[in-house]
Chain A
């Protein structure tokens, strides 16, 4: 079993729909990242959180430390949100362990 599991692996939504991506982890962590990767490879950090909830524009990330679970929500999705979203957990020593990613396609 992988230390970081994401679901779903693939997701297709219509423009305007609400999207949720889930991440579960089995190791102790200092922080959890949500990352976005567009075709071509570059990774952009969306959120780093260790408790509670963070919001940036149409993106919301939550984490439940007790349940070892995090969610990334995209409200009013848009075709430009189409990308791979990756959950990664960080521990002491600054090492990251990544989930397999969720491929999101938002259709106009």
Chain B
């Protein structure tokens, strides 16, 4: 059983560009959540995907979008990058059931710097 992986590890973009971050979920997990962590703060929930559908969204604008694929890997896309988007982006996978809560397993993160 492999853990959660993310790519790339680090990324530098300029304002206005678009970026795609990738996450490979733990084997068998059908749910992935994405979080943004600004320097010195706790992570903030961006959105969650369950079986390829968005299943909840935090307070982030539409230029933050995602995809989840049949193999449960996922992408986070950010358009029209702004300086404040510079953060660590974390994904976490879990096996979700409607009536219960299950532990989430975190990837190592992608550090995005917007210049």
A contacts, CB < 8 Å to B? 4, 30-31, 33, 35, 40-45, 48, 86, 88, 90-101
Contacts and interface: CB of A to CB of B under 8 A. Distances in A.
* Contact residues of B: prevailing secondary structure: strand
A63 B58 CA distance: 26
A50 B37 CA distance: 25
A66 to B, nearest CB: 19
Contact of A43 (B96, B106, B111): B106
Nearest to B105: A45
Given A94-B101, A96-B104, A97-B45, A43 B109 contact: yes
B2 interface: no
A108 to B, nearest CB: 25
B103 A101 contact: no
Contacts of B107: 42
Interface string B27-40: 00001010101000
9 contacts: A41-B88, A41-B90, A42-B107, A43-B109, A93-B55, A95-B48, A96-B33, A96-B45, A99-B42
B101 A92 contact: yes
Interface string B74-114: 00000000000000101010101001111111111101000
Given A94-B96, A99-B42, A45 B103 contact: yes
